[in-house]
Structure 1
Amino acid sequence: MKKLEMKFLDQENKTVTLSLDDPKEPVDPVQVNQAMDAVLAENCFFSSNGDLVAKKEARIVERNVEDIVL
């Protein structure tokens, strides 16, 4: 399973992560950047440390799970 993680900084300079499952691929960096700008402009999310104030990074994370037979 892949996730798009968008990381922001809040008012106390702490990292806040917003994750989206199964992003459309290939991921368009311009669209991700625009989406992150929109999150900041709309001020629609906040953390326990206040509003989100800056973009930190964005990345695709892939998790592989392999069951172990017991």
Structure 2
Amino acid sequence: MKKLELKFLNEENKTVTISLDNPIEPVDAVKINHAMDTILAQNCFLSSGGDLVSKKQARIVERNVSEIEL
């Protein structure tokens, strides 16, 4: 499963991550950048360390799970 992680810094300079399942690929960096700007401008998410104040990173994370028979 792939996830799009949007990482922001809050008022305490701590990282806050918003994860979205099954992102559209190929990734459109311009749209992601715009979405992150909108999240900051709307101030629509709360964190324990205060408001989100800046963008830190965006990335695609893929997790593979292999069952081990016992």
TM-score normalized by the length of structure 2 = 0.98
State the Cα RMSD in Å. 0.4
CA distance in structure 1 between the partners assigned to 2:15 and 2:46 by the alignment: 11
CA distance in structure 2 between the partners assigned to 1:4 and 1:68 by the alignment: 27
Give the structure 1 partner of residue 36 of structure 2. 36
Q: Deviations over 1:15-65 (max 9, x none)?
A: 000000000110100000000000000000020010000000000000000
Aligned partner of 2:66: which letter? E
| Structure 2 counterparts to residues 35-54 of structure 1, below 5 A | 35-54=35-54
Q: Which runs of 4+ in 1 moved over 3 A?
A: none
More strand by share: 1
Structure 1: unaligned runs, 5 residues or longer:
none
> What fraction of aligned residue pairs are identical, expressed as a percent?
71
Q: How many residues align?
A: 70
| Structure 2 counterparts to residues 5-16 of structure 1, below 5 A | 5-16=5-16
CA distance in structure 1 between the partners assigned to 2:14 and 2:28 by the alignment: 26
